[in-house]
Chains A and B, each alone.
Chain A
Amino acid sequence: MANNVFVYCEIEGTQVQEVSQELLTKGRKLANELKVELHAVVAGTGIKGKVEDQILPYGVDKLFVFDAKDLFPYTSAPHTDILVNLFKEEQPQICLMGATVIGRDLGPRVSSSLTSGLTADCTELEIGPYEDKKNEKVYENLLYQIRPAFGGNIVATIVNPDHRPQMATVRSGVMQKAIYEGECKKEVVYPEVSKYVSPEAFVVKVLDHHVEAAKHNLKGAPIVVAGGYGMGSKENFDMLFQLAKVLHGEVGGSRAAVDAGWLDHDRQIGQTGVTVHPKVYIACGISGQIQHIAGMQDSGIIISINSDPDAPINRIADYVITGTVEEVVPKLIKYYKQNSK
């Protein structure tokens, strides 16, 4: 048995989610390092012929398509059965899925069924050795599951020495997707769903399923204006929306600002929110907790506006402006308008 790398691909209707494609790209790298194959699994209703081209180009050697009635919208039990029974046959060494509502519902259920370890919300995945000093045992080629922990105050590297598959979830935007240029087999199989899922698994009924297209494109915005607890009020965020509009950017915020009710939850940037990679990141009144920095540190140019010259975020900023947001943000708008064009 080759003990390959598996990625669970999530769908909405017949659309493969971007986070799954990001994980395929990461999974391909891990598979190359381990000299094994990258396999993908997708389950839905009426997806045959519609999802393959959204999955195979990311370097997939073998794709398992499970297509049957009631596999969409997702419910826990049928998808768990598919993965658990497939993994019993295939014995993968690694399984990756999105740290989405679906991935965080499915991952723990599968890991519990297989008694394998699962690490949520990883920000980095690497391959390396592990020495178990207590039992004097050395393991080669384990998956390092790296994640901020404990409110983002520390970063932990987790390993699963003895149990397979090694499972990890990763949030959308943390990895970058890329069409794979190398060679891969691109085989597709359509297993018979009834061999994997018992009829009793379909007991939870989805009465209503309503998904709207995202109201904003924070993840892909070239310029992000983000506010933190130092913004002081919901009203002050209006200023950031003005600045973002002028710069053709989007507004995000720290967990503290979202928790304070100043900003919608889906605009939270950080380890437990969205990860962004804009050309310019303007941090307004953000102190820079690690859990936030984890979600924006790869930005091109970082501008920090803070009344505290010692705010931790200033250490990673390209421009540090010491001043209040009330004073600085209107000036940014004014001088941008005067000097652009």
Chain B
Amino acid sequence: MALKIVVLAKQVPDTRNVGKDAMTAEGTVNRAALPAIFNPEDLNALEQALRLKEQNPGSTVGILTMGPPRAGEIIRQGLYRGADTGWLLTDRLFAGADTLATSYALATAIKKIGDVDIVIGGRQAIDGDTAQVGPQVAQKLGLNQVTYAEEVLSVKDGKATIKRVIDGGVETVEAPLPVVITVNGSAAPCRPQNAKLVMKYKRATCPMERPAEGTAYDNLYEERPYLTLNQWSVADVDGDVNQCGLSGSPTKVKAIKNIVFQAKESKTLTASDADIEGMIKELLEEKIIG
């Protein structure tokens, strides 16, 4: 059967390379100061979506992301790998959202997209490591959820069979569609970008990504509507402003601090035989090791 699949993807700061200006005074992330990447586990999710598309002729894959205008890059990266379309939720009113307000925004967008069979995203994003958005989107849409998925084994007769990783083992579950799935980083890696698709979509942008004075490609945008990516505000998805952004977030950041661990008085040794043997003898004498 043809499936309508939405991939939840997030542009995240690469937390492996963090500088001192990474946080704002209000305790939110200063995204402008950091290299932005496609959240790794969302790429694993995209791969599962693209496989389902191949196995189920007539299926479509769309990338749904929320962020500043530059997050349009996430949709392009998805298109380069085989996605059919994408939606960028961007609005100052979405800013400062915790996981609950984020889920609300994504759920309203999924309702607006309509008739979605599978919503699939990474288990968690590397900037928060919370793993909350998937289940919260599922709850807001009243859908079933399957988290920690390793592989979507099959979709037939309106049911998805999914292998998932649990603490200390594995599980296979069967969930009726529509379903929300979150995918582990241990799942199959995402296919690389396709050169033809890169050529096709490299000028694809959301309206807010384009400079106000216009671009050299304005004609191209008129000729090829697929180069204009969907861009939605709170109003576009009929969102309730009170449930979006900071005002829709029950959790508040009370304090942020850079951790300073209590420095110990340490003994400094070299790699010499005398130093190492000395330490071992000391630990044995004090019965710290047996």
Q: Which residue of A lies closest to B136 (CB)?
A: A112
Q: Measured between C-beta atoms, what is the minimum distance from B155 to chain A in Å?
A: 14
Question: Given A100-B167, A157-B255, A316-B263, is A117 in contact with B250 using a C-beta cutoff of 8 Å?
Answer: yes
Most buried by B among A105, A157, A322, A331: A105
Question: Given A204-B146, A209-B171, A212-B169, is A111 in contact with B132 using a C-beta cutoff of 8 Å?
Answer: yes
Question: Given A120-B131, A155-B259, A208-B172, is A321 in contact with B269 using a C-beta cutoff of 8 Å?
Answer: yes
A112–B266 touching, CB < 8 Å: no
Give Cα A144–Cα B130 distance, bound, in whole angstroms.
17
Task: Check A213 for interface membership: any CB of B closer than 8 A.
Answer: yes
A205–B280 touching, CB < 8 Å: no
Judged by DSSP, the binding face of A is: mixed
Task: Check B254 for interface membership: any CB of A closer than 8 A.
Answer: yes
Question: Given A111-B100, A130-B254, A319-B266, is A207 in contact with B172 using a C-beta cutoff of 8 Å?
Answer: yes
Judged by DSSP, the binding face of B is: mixed
Q: Which residue of B lies closest to A74 (CB)?
A: B166
Q: Measured between C-beta atoms, what is the minimum distance from A215 to chain B in Å?
A: 9
Chain A-chain B contacts (Cβ-Cβ < 8 Å), number: 246
Chain A residues with CB below 8 A from B279, complex form: 303, 319, 321
- From B16-24, B61-69, B203-211, give the one contacting chain A: B16-24
Chain A residues with CB below 8 A from B266, complex form: 314-315, 317-320
B253–A157 touching, CB < 8 Å: yes
A207–B256 touching, CB < 8 Å: no
Give Cα A145–Cα B130 distance, bound, in whole angstroms.
13
- From A36-44, A159-167, A189-197, give the one contacting chain B: A159-167
- From A1-9, A20-28, A293-301, give the one contacting chain B: A293-301
A120–B261 touching, CB < 8 Å: no
A160–B186 touching, CB < 8 Å: no
Q: Measured between C-beta atoms, what is the minimum distance from A106 to chain B in Å?
A: 8
Chain B residues with CB below 8 A from A248, complex form: 290
B135–A149 touching, CB < 8 Å: no
Q: Which residue of B lies closest to A338 (CB)?
A: B277
Task: Check B129 for interface membership: any CB of A closer than 8 A.
Answer: yes
Question: Given A113-B139, A207-B172, is A156 in contact with B276 using a C-beta cutoff of 8 Å?
Answer: no
Chain B residues with CB below 8 A from A211, complex form: 166-169
Mark B9-37 against chain A: 1 for CB-CB distance below 8 A, else 0. Answer: 00001011010001100010100000000
Give Cα A207–Cα B153 distance, bound, in whole angstroms.
13
Q: Which of A252-283 contact B (CB under 8 A)?
A: 265, 271-272, 279-280
B270–A321 touching, CB < 8 Å: yes
Mark A319-338 against chain B: 1 for CB-CB distance below 8 A, else 0. Answer: 11111100110011001101
Chain A residues with CB below 8 A from B140, complex form: 112
Question: Given A300-B288, A340-B290, is A150 in contact with B270 using a C-beta cutoff of 8 Å?
Answer: no
B171–A73 touching, CB < 8 Å: yes
Chain B residues with CB below 8 A from A102, complex form: 166-167
Our pick among B103, B136, B172, B264 for the contact of A315 (Cβ within 8 Å) is: B264
Chain B residues with CB below 8 A from A73, complex form: 171
Task: Check B156 for interface membership: any CB of A closer than 8 A.
Answer: no
Q: Which residue of A lies closest to B174 (CB)?
A: A205
Question: Given A315-B263, A322-B271, is A157 in contact with B100 using a C-beta cutoff of 8 Å?
Answer: no
Chain A residues with CB below 8 A from B129, complex form: 120-121, 271-272
A104–B175 touching, CB < 8 Å: no
Task: Check B176 for interface membership: any CB of A closer than 8 A.
Answer: yes
Our pick among A111, A145, A151, A212 for the contact of B136 (Cβ within 8 Å) is: A111
Q: Which of A134-170 contact B (CB under 8 A)?
A: 144-145, 148-151, 153-163
Q: Which residue of B lies closest to A148 (CB)?
A: B259
Task: Check A173 for interface membership: any CB of B closer than 8 A.
Answer: no
B288–A112 touching, CB < 8 Å: no
B148–A108 touching, CB < 8 Å: no
Instruction: Name the 4 nearest CB pairs between A and B, nearest first.
Output: A323-B271, A151-B15, A211-B169, A117-B250
7 interchain pairs, CB-CB under 8 A: A76-B138, A101-B165, A109-B135, A119-B251, A120-B129, A130-B254, A321-B269
Given contacts A156-B256, A335-B281, 12 further A-B contacts (CB under 8 A): A73-B171, A77-B144, A112-B135, A119-B251, A149-B256, A150-B22, A156-B255, A163-B250, A279-B289, A280-B289, A303-B279, A331-B273
* Contacts from A to B (Cβ < 8 Å): 12, 73, 75-77, 80, 100-102, 104-109, 111-113, 115-121, 130, 132, 144-145, 148-151, 153-163, 203-214, 223, 247-248, 265, 271-272, 279-280, 290, 293, 297, 300-303, 309, 314-324, 327-328, 331-332, 335-336, 338-340
